[in-house]
Structure 1
Amino acid sequence: MCGIVGAVAQRNIVPVLLEGLKRLEYRGYDSCGVAVNDGTLKRARSVSRVAELEAQVQQSGLQGGAGISHTRWATHGAPATNNAHPHFSANPNGEHCIGLVHNGIIENYEEIRADLMAKGYKFESQTDTEAVAHLVNSLYDGDLFRTVQKAVKHLHGAFAIAVFSKDEPNRIVGARLGCPLTIGLGQGENFLASDAMALAGTTDQIIYLEDGDVVDVTREGVTITDKNDQPVERKVNTVNAYSGAIDLGPYRHYMQKEIFEQPRAISDTLEGVQGFVPALFGEGASAVLERVNAVQILACGTSYYSGMTAKYWLESIAGLPTHVEIASEYRYRKPAVNPNALVVVISQSGETADTLAALKYAKELGHKHSLAICNVPTSAMVRETELAYLTRAGAEIGVASTKAFTTQLTALYLLTMTLAKLNGRLSADEEQNQLKQLRHLPTALQSVLALEPHIIGWSETFARKENALFLGRGLHYPIALEGALKLKEISYIHAEAYPAGELKHGPLALVTEEMPVVTVAPNDALLEKLKSNMQEVRARGGELFVFADGDSQIASSQGVHVIRLPEHYGELSPILHVVPLQLLAYHTALARGTDVDKPRNLAKSVTVE
């Protein structure tokens, strides 16, 4: 959450900062700001979007060769101008001398704040960030790099910061612990940012900082020290940062664009897969996967639902006991540990704070083997796991995840089949059949996307509702959960999902003619049971909206609306059935006039606890 862009150059850097903020705005959009340092600190801040900040900057004529900027997801302090970054700290004469932007949460900021207030520092915001700016000011000794090295040792929590001093106008210092921060290298100019995508079109030479690193950024170059203040060299990567990712093309929103990119994303994720072999998951995977006798999945949000789906696959197909836990809960309990279980962590960004912390905790408990399912090859999660599979979804800008989810499912299915083969549960003929099914998946998805006009018709009804239920059974219960999440995220309709058999154990009390009930109804072994659950809804006056397979015997009637998917897709059916749920959420939000890509109170990359 939140986004940082900073630069030191011989040119006016403000346009680069603003363009970078536009690319990072999906990370947080409660407020934004930019500051420059030309021997005096100047800034512009807004509680609107980056476009409004850009107009403000143009009107004021703000420009300079060294600058820091920020787009915010609010934690400490409401979205208000005084809480917006960059934050300044003044010297005893009242002149602003330190400017700072920050991602993350400083857990001990109240102690720091109290100590600094006792020393006479005045606070203008409710943020934890301002305490860091004043802390740097209080420790400043004429060398900003050395000062920040001292300051970060006082901070507890997770953070990425960029800071400058009016006395050193051609220098920015950054530091990270638990939150991502990258360096961009140019000719006579250098940059830092939360994500390489912010620097697309400016530089493709990227350094990924490690936890505890502090970096000194000047026009001439960068100097990095580690958590022990020892000079280190970090690898320079040539990164394709998806410079075209912010182009909407013919689509109205990124979410719609990303829904329709799913056939390509899955095709890219499957590129090069000729068989279910351990080498798909990295060097040395064979020795690891052959020893695995159970799976422990850790994830949050949408990624958690992909893990729930994989549990059905891993147990029924690969024969491996599988536990799926919300990462933010796992890290605070004392689970029994099977050292030969494979810990699978799932994250679109690879920087999800709770999942990274859960991974670290699992290792501390004695888990030996770990695998990341992730969309970002340079992320902390990929670097910190033994094995990995990259979901080549490309940049996902919409806050409500779509193509990241279906590519995660694809990767987890590959893992399932690989483990099944290693366990002697997959014949050569069945392997070829499964590969054929996977290769046909993008085409099958195209057929599902063609149902959009029918789903738009349903969305007009949903837009007038304030509550909805989603039902699924077996493999499709997690898909019902994901459908409910999408609807609540972007339309603000209260939506809950249940295993259909649980209706009679409580949720049926909620069913009235005002409660639409969305039912995921593939033609599988549980269809007849599901039909009975649907009759329970109709008997109470509930209105059913059913996503069925083409060959299922469910007919439309009064109070029962049916959209048929073109074909039943067996174990891979969840990947097809989630797509119409995404489209239903999208078009319902569109009809309600909400901000589809930037829903209130949410942000894309959750790098705080």
Structure 2
Amino acid sequence: MCGIVGAVADRQVQNILLEGLKRLEYRGYDSAGMAVLSADARLSRQRAVGKVAALEEKLQASGLRGHVGIAHTRWATHGRPTENNAHPHQSGDSLAVVHNGIIENYEILKADLEGQGYVFLSETDTEVIAHLMSREVSRHDDLLSAFQHVVDMLNGAYALAVTHADYPDQIVGARKGSPLVVGVGIDEAFLASDPLALLQVTDRFIYLQEGDVARLTVGGNIEIFNAGQSVERPSAIFEHGDGAVSRGDYRHFMLKEIHEQSQVIANTLEGRLGDRHVFTRILGAEADDLLAHVKNIQIVACGTSYHAGMVARYWLEKLAGIPTQVEVASEYRYREVVVPEGTLFVTLSQSGETADTLAALRYASQKGGYLASLAICNVPGSSLVRESDLTLMTQAGPEIGVASTKAFTTQLVALLLLTLALRHVRQGDDDVQARLVNALRELPRLITRGLALDSAIETMSAAFAEKHHALFLGRGTMFPIALEGALKLKEISYIHAEAYPAGELKHGPLALVDSDMPVIAVAPNDELLEKLKSNLQEVRARGGELFVFADEHVAINESEGVHVLRMPAVDDVIAPILYTLPLQLLSYHVAVLKGTDVDQPRNLAKSVTVE
């Protein structure tokens, strides 16, 4: 959510920094700030709680000007949204730092610095970096050497930018686990957490790699180091600056948002994965203690978010060993709820303004008895986020299409992060976590491979154009994915669709199966595969036409009435996220063939703010 912008130029940079912050507003934030070095090497800073517009008013009133500067939009992780906690942070009157990410060992570093007489004015982990820099600058001959020494002391995930009045011609920056790009100008240089922040001044960028440290100096000189050694990084032209609320080259927002999933999932993972485990402080500084006391979980959500919660139940019980209940929000608040001891109340919402989910949270808060409330949401500053004790933000970006796509998959990613954080607190480090952390790192690449099936799915969709009903099947974690596939098809194509656990076929749904009823199944290579294959034989025996999305190593072959599309091999825990993609694409292409309004289907709204 947080955003960094930095600039080094012969011209004044405050307006460049301000425009960069405005371009990062889509990421969500609760405060903003800027620090610049004037021509006489004097450091000036302005910060404001709330929108960038509030900072802009302060900047205009103060007359802040400078040729070197850094700016930041912050979403609170350590400390409340107050001006003292807003970035940039200073140590004395000479040094300023901005930071995205989480410093895991900040408490140890802070205690050491306090023992040396440093006074802390904020509740953040970032202020530790400012004081460390101040100390190390006094011990080293130049800013870069001091900065490299400080970076070596930090554990966690970060993108950093630092400026110092004693070095008024430069900015230093670093990345580990959080993105940072260098913008290449003509005799000037820039830093940002997202290229979109700098498209008003350049379209050429150097994407810093893990562990890179950069020094930018007036005149446009850019130096990059890794492990203390000078390295060369290629620059590239940024060719996709149409903006998050433009369809670009896509026919519909829904298709654009489906194809954005590789990137937004990478964004949601950004800064949250260690070498072998998930950083538990993604939920806040006190997360370890709170998560250790969780004995039960209650998930409440609506629609697509409810399906995400259903998948999470399998994960939480299998991987974290925590009993989990999932309930539709509109039903939850109209019954007498018994709250087991140590229950974490989890709400899911893309907008954070879903009326039934908000009402359920308020009901739970009024009833009491819960350990804490956690909101998993895509919109910082929304009502759900403000009223919850804890938040875990997704990074889907603006989702314009009414039928949720990228918001759903990023919710799944966030729920798996929560699951692994709970496992880590309860069991410590283990090989299962390490395996799944690696699988999550690979997920954006697998998503890209899955999306490459678009044209094949478009061809497959022709078989549905004249149908009036469809049946979706899945087992285990694939049953909620089947539910989500059925929901997508009915939302945008208006085809009646139902989903069942495949093992339930003999308990009623087989009565619906005939040659006019397409049956869609999701078949990853998991422990329930052989059971699923038997269920699919039951469909074929009744003349049903099968459309199967199967793992590339699964022995389900095409034959008369059986159409198979091969999916990339994937860890079975991660499979629900990947297998969502073909169902989204199938629904989209069927809707296009039927000529419905894909982005704004009838009778539906993006954010359901009334009961």
How high is the TM-score relative to the length of structure 2? Answer: 0.60
Conserved 8 A contact 1:185-1:205: no
- The residue number in structure 2 matching 1:82 is none
Q: How does 1:347-358 map to 2 (within 5 A)?
A: 347-358=349-360
- The residue number in structure 2 matching 1:491 is 493
CA drift at 1:363:
1.6
SS in 1 for 2:376: strand
What amino acid sits opposite 1:259 in the alignment? I
- The residue number in structure 2 matching 1:572 is 574
- The residue number in structure 2 matching 1:282 is 284
Conserved 8 A contact 1:186-1:205: no
CA drift at 1:458:
1.1
Alignment partner for residue 359 of structure 1, among 358, 361, 364?
361
- 2:416 is the alignment partner of 1:413: yes
SS in 1 for 2:420: helix
- The residue number in structure 1 matching 2:465 is 463
The farther-off stretch of 431-440 and 252-261 is 431-440
What amino acid sits opposite 2:378 in the alignment? N
CA pair 243-559 structure 1, distance change in 2 beyond 3 A: closer
Report the identity percentage: 59
CA drift at 1:338:
1.8
SS in 2 for 1:523: coil
Q: How does 1:554-593 map to 2 (within 5 A)?
A: 554-593=556-595
- The residue number in structure 2 matching 1:265 is 264
Cα distance per residue 1:489-534 (max 9 Å; x no partner): 0000000000001111011101010000000111111111111111
- 2:387 is the alignment partner of 1:388: no
Conserved 8 A contact 2:353-2:609: yes
Q: How does 1:234-253 map to 2 (within 5 A)?
A: 244-253=243-252
Q: How does 1:287-306 map to 2 (within 5 A)?
A: 287-306=289-308
- The residue number in structure 1 matching 2:174 is none
What amino acid sits opposite 1:536 in the alignment? E
* Residues paired across the two proteins, number: 383
- The residue number in structure 2 matching 1:472 is 474
**Residues of 2 paired with 1:586 and 1:457: CA distance?**
12
Unaligned 5+ segments in structure 1 are 1-181, 189-203, 207-239
What amino acid sits opposite 1:578 in the alignment? T
CA drift at 1:243:
9.2
What amino acid sits opposite 2:390 in the alignment? L
What amino acid sits opposite 1:464 in the alignment? E
What amino acid sits opposite 2:248 in the alignment? G
Cα distance per residue 1:457-512 (max 9 Å; x no partner): 11111111010000000010000000000000000000000000111101110101
Cα distance per residue 1:588-608 (max 9 Å; x no partner): 000111110000000101111
CA drift at 1:438:
0.4
**Residues of 1 paired with 2:250 and 2:535: CA distance?**
38
- The residue number in structure 2 matching 1:369 is 372
CA drift at 1:185:
6.9
Conserved 8 A contact 2:352-2:383: yes
- The residue number in structure 1 matching 2:81 is none
Conserved 8 A contact 1:348-1:404: yes
Cα distance per residue 1:66-93 (max 9 Å; x no partner): xxxxxxxxxxxxxxxxxxxxxxxxxxxx
Conserved 8 A contact 1:311-1:323: yes
Q: Over the residues paired in the alignment, what is the CA RMSD in angstroms?
A: 2.6
**Residues of 2 paired with 1:583 and 1:528: CA distance?**
26
- The residue number in structure 1 matching 2:516 is 514
**Residues of 2 paired with 1:265 and 1:537: CA distance?**
37
- The residue number in structure 1 matching 2:91 is none
Q: How does 1:132-143 map to 2 (within 5 A)?
A: none
What amino acid sits opposite 2:568 in the alignment? P
- 2:432 is the alignment partner of 1:430: yes
Conserved 8 A contact 2:377-2:385: yes
Cα distance per residue 1:168-190 (max 9 Å; x no partner): xxxxxxxxxxxxxx9977999xx
CA drift at 1:436:
1.1
- The residue number in structure 2 matching 1:34 is none
Q: How does 1:64-79 map to 2 (within 5 A)?
A: none
- The residue number in structure 1 matching 2:233 is none
**Residues of 2 paired with 1:284 and 1:187: CA distance?**
33
SS in 2 for 1:332: coil
Q: How does 1:75-474 map to 2 (within 5 A)?
A: 244-273=243-272, 274=274, 275-366=277-368, 367-424=370-427, 427-474=429-476
CA pair 323-245 structure 1, distance change in 2 beyond 3 A: same
Alignment partner for residue 481 of structure 1, among 466, 480, 483?
483
Q: How does 1:527-606 map to 2 (within 5 A)?
A: 527-606=529-608
**Residues of 2 paired with 1:443 and 1:395: CA distance?**
22
**Residues of 1 paired with 2:469 and 2:322: CA distance?**
38
SS in 2 for 1:547: strand
Cα distance per residue 1:131-168 (max 9 Å; x no partner): xxxxxxxxxxxxxxxxxxxxxxxxxxxxxxxxxxxxxx
CA pair 187-577 structure 1, distance change in 2 beyond 3 A: closer
CA drift at 1:428:
3.4
Conserved 8 A contact 1:282-1:389: no
What amino acid sits opposite 2:419 in the alignment? T
CA drift at 1:339:
4.0
CA drift at 1:430:
3.0
**Residues of 1 paired with 2:282 and 2:56: CA distance?**
38
What amino acid sits opposite 2:353 in the alignment? E
Unaligned 5+ segments in structure 2 are 1-50, 58-71, 75-195, 198-240
Q: How does 1:30-49 map to 2 (within 5 A)?
A: none
**Residues of 1 paired with 2:359 and 2:286: CA distance?**
24
**Residues of 1 paired with 2:52 and 2:467: CA distance?**
47
- The residue number in structure 2 matching 1:117 is none
**Residues of 2 paired with 1:283 and 1:590: CA distance?**
47
**Residues of 2 paired with 1:423 and 1:437: CA distance?**
21
How high is the TM-score relative to the length of structure 1? Answer: 0.60
Cα distance per residue 1:42-71 (max 9 Å; x no partner): xxxxxxxxxxxxxxxxxxxxxxxxxxxxxx
**Residues of 1 paired with 2:425 and 2:591: CA distance?**
45
The farther-off stretch of 432-441 and 409-418 is 432-441
**Residues of 1 paired with 2:265 and 2:345: CA distance?**
24
What amino acid sits opposite 2:399 in the alignment? E
Conserved 8 A contact 1:266-1:392: yes
SS in 2 for 1:495: strand
SS in 2 for 1:545: strand
- The residue number in structure 2 matching 1:500 is 502
